[in-house]
Amino acid sequence: MSDVVLETRGLVKHFKARKGAVRAVDGVDLQLRRGETLGIVGESGCGKSTLAKLLVGLEKPTQGEIRVRGEDLTRLGGAALRRSRRNIQMVLQDPYTSLNPRMTVGDIIGEPYDIHRDAVPQYGKARAVQELLDIVGLNPDHINRYPHQFSGGQRQRIGIARALALRPEIIVCDEPVSALDVSIQAQVINLLEGLQRELGLAYVFIAHDLSVVRHISDRVAVMYLGKIVETGNHAAIYEQPTHPYTQALLSAVPVPDPRLRGRRDHIMLEGDVPSPADPPSGCRFRTRCWKAQPGCADHEPLLEIRQRSSHPSACHYAEVRHVMRRF
């Protein structure tokens, strides 16, 4: 399987807290193949951003492995680590805070080359920067402008150009379109899709908007309280969800079609996500699960293929429920 560009095994991140630990990411296994998009969805606070930060090295894992092209980043150091890291870049959520307001766009996009001098193409940094601006659909003459002179969507393009500079194979996108206007989201999504086709990029695409994730992803992983509770290709997750949490999430997403009003299967979840500092025993979803049985408190369900679930699902009673029937 040389096809796998990124793989994590038992990835764990615990943050020290006043009492005990916040278990932000608690044993995540995932695989990403070349040119593929893996969508990650889940409610706020379930560990998506922490996972993203672990992948790009902004946080150190408490446990587990992150393998980029087979090399375990957690065991590498020095120059080898730097080289490996170049292969995995990130686009951040907020285009208003992710660009240094006191650097010109040329300096921002050129910074990867200042840090990794051996990555500068033969024709020079200046040309490379202008080429990148062109690739993401910005005017290459705007290198001397500052971020505040651009709109949100354009800033996100600058962020994407910066992530492309070192020619990575993998880009982690943490909510790349959440902060954008509706009419601009489509521009950025199409850009990301176009770049994937042309450059063969693999994306880890994190978003809370399940419609956007469905649109862009080949495979989807659903996260709850630091764990992946269901994973599969987009058809499996959206058309045959088997985990109660996935089903509830999907049923809560509003669909822009008033004809579906009152005809959709609404599963109303009670309350909020429990604190990751003190997750429920057994199945973490049991405090909000309408299918919970007494046994769910004692035995933690593994993420595996079960009798009634053709794809991995972490529920003892995994079973398809069509929440997204088409009309």
Partner 1 sequence: MNEITAHVDALPGLDPRAPLLHVEDLHVEFRTRDGVARAVNGVNLWLNPGETLAVLGESGCGKSVTAQAIMGILDTPPGHVTGGRVLYRGVDLLRLPESERRKVRANRIAMIFQDALSALNPVYTVGFQLAELFRVHRGTSRREAKRRAIELLDQVRIPDARRRVDDYPHEFSGGMRQRVMIAMALALDPEVLIADEPTTALDVTVQAQIMSLLADLQRERNMGLMLITHDMGVVADVADRIAVMYAGKVVEEAPVYDIYAHPAHAYTKALLESIPRLDHKGQALNVIRGLPPALTDIPTGCAFHPRCAYAREICRLEPPPAYQIAPHRVTSCHFVREVLGV
Partner 2 sequence: MSDRNATVEAPKPTGGKPRSLAGDAWLDLRTRKIFWIAAVLVVVVLLMAAWPSLFTSADPKDCLLARKNAGAGGGAPFGYDFQGCDVYAKTVYGARDSILVGVAATLIAGVIGLVVGLLAGYFGRWVDAVLSRFVDIVLAIPFILGAIVLARRLSSDPESNGVFAVIVTLGVLGWTTAARVMRSAVISAKNQDYVAAARMLGASPARLMLRHILPNAVSPFIVVLTVLLGVNIAGEATLSYLGVGLKGDAVSWGLAIAEAGPFARTAAAPLVWPSVFLAATVLAFIMLGDAIRDAFDPKLR
Ligand X SMILES: Nc1ncnc2c1ncn2[C@@H]1O[C@H](COP(=O)(O)OP(=O)(O)OP(=O)(O)O)[C@@H](O)[C@H]1O
Site residues for ligand SF4 per CB under 6 A? 244, 283, 285-286, 289, 291-293, 296, 301, 315-317
H-state helical runs in 200-320: 210-216, 234-239, 244-252
Residues 211-250 that bind partner 2 (CB under 8 A): none
Q: Write down the least CB distance from residue 63 to ligand SF4, Å.
A: 24
Give kind and range of the element (H or E) at residue 203.
strand 202-206
Which residues, in sequence order, are CB contacts of 301 under 8 Å at separation 6+?
A: 282, 283, 314, 315, 316
In the list 101, 256, 262, 271, the residue contacting partner 2 (rule: CB under 8 A) is: 101
Residues 175-194 that bind partner 2 (CB under 8 A): 186-187, 190-191, 194
Q: Write down the least CB distance from residue 157 to partner 2, Å.
A: 8
CA-CA distance, 221 to 172, in Å (whole number)?
A: 14
Q: Write down the least CB distance from residue 82 to partner 2, Å.
A: 5
Q: Write down the least CB distance from residue 46 to partner 2, Å.
A: 20
Which CB sits closer to ligand X, 269 or 320?
A: 269
Which residues, in sequence order, are CB contacts of 245 under 8 Å at separation 6+?
A: 222, 224, 229, 230, 285, 288, 289
In the list 49, 98, 154, 313, the residue contacting Mg ion (rule: CB under 5 A) is: 49
Closest among 297, 289, 53 to 28, alpha carbons compared:
53
Q: Write down the least CB distance from residue 164 to partner 2, Å.
A: 12
Tokens linked to 181: 């206007």
In the list 99, 160, 283, 324, the residue contacting partner 2 (rule: CB under 8 A) is: 99
